[in-house]
Amino acid sequence: MQMCCWSRLSITGRAKEYDDWFLRLGRYDRGEEATRRWFEQVEEVRGALRSLPLDEKNIVELAPGTGLWTEELCDRAAHLTAVDASAEMNALNRERLGERARDVTYIEADLFEWDSAEVFDAVVFCFWMSHIPTSRIVGFLSKVARMLTPGGTVFFLDARKEHTSTAKDHILPDDNEEVMTRRLDDGREFSIIKNFWSATELEDKCQRAGLEVHVHETKDYFQFGIGTRR
């Protein structure tokens, strides 16, 4: 097992099966009822994102992955910047957007090291929060605040701690742990950071970073935050 969290190999392998997770295919298929509830709650989150004042705004999406949410943002933004550490993810993102990718500025960079030279009207990141180590989350959120214009919008989305959210052969970490083993379809295993915070904990961390955020939760699967820079 690779013990380095978010190694290059783990990101490359995950890029190839990320959509299987989101679309509930293969090892991620937990049955018809679970799939129905999953996509109902996906639409609840999409509705929340679509309700935000993002039309004709300058938006940055952090860790956009294969573009599942980039599609939503690209159609609304005056300009969209997408920052991901993985060239493989960026390539899949471009492929999903097709001709629309010409309107997106792609940056390949480590989000913990990258700093923006400009500020944005909105910062969006989906399924990234849980991969931030506890020791770095306030620092990361402070960076998010610095990227935003005063009064700018922040939106983040992640998974709740629900065992049917992940693959059948995955075990989620205990409450006092922040590392889990991720197994890929080809059998390789990697240790990754995986944190689950309560809504109250996340709101407090955002407050400390200069963000006013209210965290919402769907019934089973998702947790999302909506707020502004103070």
Which structure tokens are listed for 226? 């909506």
User: Quick one: average pLDDT of 174-191?
Assistant: 90
Domain locations in the chain as residue ranges: 8-229
pTM for this entry:
0.93
pLDDT confidence of residue 94: 97
pLDDT confidence of residue 11: 53
Choosing among 3.40.50.150, 3.20.20.140, 3.20.20.70, 3.40.50.1220, the CATH entry for 8-229 is: 3.40.50.150
Q: Which residue has the higher pLDDT, 187 or 213?
A: 213
Asked whether 112 and 140 are in contact (CB, 8 A), the reply is: yes
Chain mean pLDDT for the chain? 93
Is the pLDDT assigned to residue 9 strictly greater than 80? Answer: no
Helix (H, G, I), strand (E, B) or coil at 44: helix
pLDDT of 48-89, one tens digit each? 999 999 999 999 999 999 999 999 999 999 999 999 999 999
**Calculated CA dihedral for residues 196, 199, 201, 207, nearest 10 degrees:** 130
